Amino acid sequence: MPITTALSTEIKRVSILDEHGQFDESLGKDLIPDADLVGLYEDMALCRKLDEVAFKLQRSGRMGTYPQNMGQEANSLGAAYVLNQDDWLVTCYRENCGLFHRGLPPEKILLHWMGDERGNHIDPNLCVTPIAVPIGTQMLHATGLAWASKYRGEKRVACTFFGDGATSEGDFHEAMNFAANLDIPVIFFCQNNHWAISVPGRIQCSAPTVAQRAIAYGMDTVQCDGNDIFAVVHCMKEATAHAREHGRPYFIEGVTYRLGDHTTADDARRYRDEEEVELWRQRDPIIRIREYMKARGIWDDSKEAALAEKVEAETSAIVQRAEGIEAPDTSDFFTSMFAEMPADLELQMRTRRTSSIGENPSQIASPETATG
């Protein structure tokens, strides 16, 4: 029998505004209106400033471990900009910029890392899930949310974020396989920041791209410059249109870089070459947009100074709201556990005792018979 080709494919890489200021008019013209671009830049500036403030809060003992977002802001922000308000945004822990754009109060992020569960109480109208720290679990949640929307006949999609390291997790492969085989409209957005804590990407994935892992599941995929807000928006528009029209999943690999440590518990100087870090500092998404807007005449130094003053005031107010929140009540442990409190929990809350509960469920006293 002759040898034939079982599969032939290619993966496109999208870059519209590179670090040298080169702008592809054929792809980028009218993609983001000037007023929107200014707003997106302001979102990124606030996120970057909050990163700096959060680092100081942790170092001064006012907050627990914190993972900085700096260098990766364009990915989640570009996605949130394209998604509809009722689409699901399912994040891990470096998507602050997209969450803020969606409308999540920034103090919620600080409260989360301060260990206050009220940081995870999110307005359901935002269609945002709480931060997921376990690596990869949120991809299964996103697939389930998108599947539920499809089951109801809605045209909603879910977009989930994860790092290159998460693609080695079993949850990643289960979510990808499930979404592809059952035609579920979920967008898998991999932020390839080159490091899974101290494990470099070349060890994490031996393939030339992370994006090609999607091909094994029969999924459409693209690689984009994750530090280019225009490229992210372009790819997200293509992905959301595909998901809504065909009800199929889509994979995006956003090539970016973690400029800071993995978290405040890490010291990346022990395993990263400073020359590599400096190279990626020159590709900073914030610098890229600022220089582009200056060249276009829609931004200048006076506006930059005014923005710096504005974000300084905003971050101070955010910290005050987070640290000034009233202390939680001990009853919150009970009232926040279920939408409708079971009788045994109501009894425990009222009596602050568990002695009425024996090994036999029939021994549980009713609220009427309990004496406290």
C-alpha dihedral, 272 to 274 to 275 to 277, nearest 10°: 80
The pair phi, psi for residue 159, each rounded to 5°, is -120, 125
Summarised one tens digit per residue, pLDDT across range 202-216 is 888 888 999 999 999
Given 271, 281, 350, 353, the catalytic residue: 271
Domain spans of the chain, in order of start: 13-323, 332-363
Given 101, 156, 258, 283, the catalytic residue: 258
- 367 vs 144, higher pLDDT: 144
Binned at pLDDT 50, 70 and 90, residue 345 comes out as: confident
Can 271 be counted among the known catalytic residues? yes
What pLDDT is attached to residue 357? 56
Task: Establish how many alpha carbons lie within 13 A of residue 200's alpha carbon, considering only the half-sphere containing its beta carbon.
Answer: 8
pLDDT at 159 over 50: yes
What pLDDT is attached to residue 372? 46
Give the chain's mean pLDDT.
93
Which residues fall within 8 angstroms of residue 371, CB to CB, at 6 or more apart?
none
**Closest of 284, 214, 288 to residue 12, by C-alpha:** 214
Identify residue 369 by its one-letter amino acid code. T
Which residues fall within 8 angstroms of residue 296, CB to CB, at 6 or more apart?
34
**Closest of 363, 31, 370, 56 to residue 224, by C-alpha:** 31
Identify residue 175 by its one-letter amino acid code. A
pLDDT at 309 over 50: yes
Cα separation, 355 vs 346, whole angstroms:
14
Secondary structure element (H or E) that encloses residue 161, with its range: strand 158-163
Can 66 be counted among the known catalytic residues? no
> Average of pLDDT values for 69-95?
97
What pLDDT is attached to residue 326? 92
Binned at pLDDT 50, 70 and 90, residue 362 comes out as: low
Cα separation, 67 vs 342, whole angstroms:
37
> Average of pLDDT values for 260-282?
95
Residue 110's CB is within 10 A of a number of other CB atoms, namely 25
The pair phi, psi for residue 186, each rounded to 5°, is -120, 140
pLDDT at 311 over 60: yes
> Average of pLDDT values for 318-333?
91
Cα separation, 173 vs 159, whole angstroms:
16
Say if residues 174 and 147 touch (Cβ distance below 8 Å): no
Q: Tokens representing 230?
A: 């225009």
Can 262 be counted among the known catalytic residues? yes
pLDDT at 300 over 50: yes
What pLDDT is attached to residue 364? 57
Given 262, 283, 288, 290, the catalytic residue: 262
Q: How far is CA 202 from CA 67, 177, 225, 239, 313, in A?
A: 22, 24, 18, 27, 42
Q: What one-character-per-residue DSSP string does 178-219 give?
A: HHHHTT--EEEEEEE-SEETTEEHHHH--SS-SGGGGGGGT-
Say if residues 256 and 71 touch (Cβ distance below 8 Å): yes
Binned at pLDDT 50, 70 and 90, residue 328 comes out as: confident
> Which numeric CATH code is attached to 13-323?
3.40.50.970
% of the chain with per-residue pLDDT over 90: 85
Binned at pLDDT 50, 70 and 90, residue 344 comes out as: confident
Instruction: Classify residue 222 as left (phi > 0), alpha (psi -120 to 50) or beta.
Output: beta
Q: Give Dmax over CA atoms of the chain in angstroms.
A: 85
pLDDT at 282 over 60: yes
Summarised one tens digit per residue, pLDDT across range 160-216 is 999 999 999 999 999 999 999 999 999 999 999 999 999 998 888 888 999 999 999
Task: Establish how many alpha carbons lie within 13 A of residue 188's alpha carbon, considering only the half-sphere containing its beta carbon.
Answer: 40
